Structure 1
Amino acid sequence: MTSRTPTPTPSESAVTLREILAFDDSATLRTVLVPAGLDVGVRGVAVGDEGAAQPFDGCLVLVVGVPAASAEAAGPVRAAAGRGASGVVLRDTQGAAVAPEVLAAAEESGIALLTRAEWADWADTAALLRSALACARAGVDEGAPGITAGGAESLTALAGAVAEYTGGSITIEDTRFRVLAHSATGPEADGLRRSTILGGRVPQWRVAELRRSGMLRVLWTSRDVIHRAADADGPERLIIAVRSGPEVLGSIWAAADGRALSPHAAEALRRAAEVAAPLLVRHRLHESGAARRRELALRGLLHGDGDARTHAWSLGLSPDAACAVVVVERHGAGPAVGDRTLDVLALHAVSYRPSVQVLRDGERLLALLPVGAGQERDALRLARELAMLAPSLPGGVPVLAGAGPVAATALGVQTSCEEAALIVRVLRERAARDDGAGPGRYADAAALGPSLDVARVLDSVRPVWEAGDGPVHELVRADLASGGELVRTLAAYLDASGDVARAAARLVVHPNTLRYRLRRARERFGVDLEDPDTRLLITLAVRLTG
Structure 2
Amino acid sequence: MVDVQGLVERAGPALLRPVSTPESTGGVGDVVIAEPSESSVAGTSDVVLGVGLTHERQAVEQLRDCGERDAAAVLLKPPLSTASEVAAEARRQGVALIEVREGAAWAQLVWLLRAALADAESAADSSDRGGSASLGDLFRLSDAVAEVIDAPVTIEDAHSQVLAYSARQELTDPARVSTIMGRRQPEDVLAKFRARGTFRQLTRGSSAIYVPEQPDGTLPRLVVPIRMGGELLGSMWAVVPGEVSEQRTSAFADTAALVALQLLRRRLLTDSERQRSARLVRLVLEGGEGWRAAANELAVRAEPHRVVAIDMRAGDGTDEGHRLAMWEWITRGIGHRPLVTESGGVLYAVVPDRAGAGGWPALRDALLTHIRELDSDTPRPLVAAGTSVPVAELPTSRLRADEVLALLRGGTVDREVAVHEDLWHLLVLTRMAGAAGDAGVGALGPLHVLREHDRNRGTEYLDTLYAWLRHPGDPRAAGAELRVHPNTFRYRMKRISLLVEVDLEDVEVRSALLVQLLSERWNPHG
Normalised by the size of structure 1, how large is the TM-score? 0.43
If asked which structure has higher relative contact order (CA below 8 Å, sep 6+), I would say 1
Normalised by the size of structure 2, how large is the TM-score? 0.44
